[in-house]
Amino acid sequence: MAQSGYKNGLKKTPKGFWSYNIRVGRKTKTGTFATTRLETARKLLDQLRDDLLRQQEGLEIKLTVGEAMDYWLESRYSNAKHLNRAIYAFDRARPVLGQVQVRRLTQAEIIAFKRTLLEPDDPDRRPLAPTTVNIVLRYLAVAINWAVKNKKIAENPLKQMPYEPVPEDNRPFLVRDDVIPFLMKVDALGNAHHQVAIRAMLLMGLRESEALRLRWDGFTGDWAFYAPARAKNGKAQPVPVPAEVLRAVRALPQESEWVLPGRARSLHLKGYTRKVVEEAGVEIGKPGLTPHRLRASCATIHAAMGVNAFQIRDLLRHERIATSQKYVNKVPCNLQVVVRTTFDGITEMFTEVVPIIGKPNTVDANQIDPTNDGTGEPTR
């Protein structure tokens, strides 16, 4: 029962402040709010009641963003797949949002934090790209959702994370007509190892590290497929070997287990093909081309040739189609020409079986008899 003088849990003291007395479940709490305004006292009382309910349900009422991130790291530490990215993201969020209570987190605070990443006040800190900023925000959302899922907090206050719009990818890539001129420049600029590695990246979609670590025993007996020794997803999924790659590979001597052994039987380091790729790109009018953009070019060329998203995912050996789609650049094309080319054969077949009736483009308007209603008899 409420004590005498309390109305809806509040009572004014002789000094004008508001005392409270509430009971939630089996727990009763009394005290005085340091405010003389009734509206403020009511809001504070509702907040106090909410806190008591959360505590009885075993929820933490003062969980900070930093604690939520630490909880995710402790709970998910056995899964190291995204651990490095998560730590990178949390290290950037912690100084700004680490002490903020999750339940008090607002979109305005997230947007302000996002600004600090895109336009840092410290001149020694490099601004992050929009895609990197979105990675930081995504892992922040993951940590908070993990706390909600495991009953650390009642709900996520951010129903929608204000991600940064990503501008259209303007990085260079090759289309099918660029392949031969590009490879001719590569042959003129690089040695035999450059030629093989660059062909493997462009025509097979291999990463540079995979192309430089080609193994003779990775090829199947008929030389039709190659299984990369290193893959991010841990799978050695075979990749078809184009004839041009096979021609370049089989022209090399088999001196060791590696197709492209470096000096003293070591391996070429990452970036070995970069200079040749960049110079060949400049020569054909594609400045800024990098070895990894050859992998994107491979995906783009296949997509333009009609290869579907699932096949491109398998070619690039990604786990998710969404990852592969980031490698496919939009190639301008005339949709009208594509549709006509695709369906012309169907029209020709049906024209042979069922003659097309009424071709308006072949009828001379001057030959139409206005006195004929189509029955063969002139109208009267």
pLDDT the model gives residue 360: 47
pLDDT the model gives residue 181: 95
Helical (H) or strand (E) element with 32: strand 27-33
The residue with tokens 């953009």 is 293
For the stretch 88-107, pLDDT in tens is: 999 999 999 999 988 788 89
Residues with pLDDT less than 70, the chain:
1-4, 50-61, 76-81, 154, 168-169, 229-236, 330-380
pLDDT the model gives residue 208: 93
Listed in sequence order, the residues at least 6 apart from 10 whose beta carbon sits closer than 8 Å to its beta carbon are 18, 19, 20, 38, 41, 42, 45
Q: Rounded to whole angstroms, how far apart are CA atoms 355 and 358?
A: 9
What DSSP line would sit under 182-215, residue for residue? HHHHHHHHS-HHHHHHHHHHHHH---HHHHHT-B
Q: Residue 317: how many CB atoms within 10 A of its CB? A: 20
CB 191 within 8 A of CB 183: no
pLDDT the model gives residue 223: 92
pLDDT the model gives residue 329: 73
Listed in sequence order, the residues at least 6 apart from 189 whose beta carbon sits closer than 8 Å to its beta carbon are 276, 279, 280, 283
Q: Rounded to whole angstroms, how far apart are CA atoms 141 and 201?
A: 35
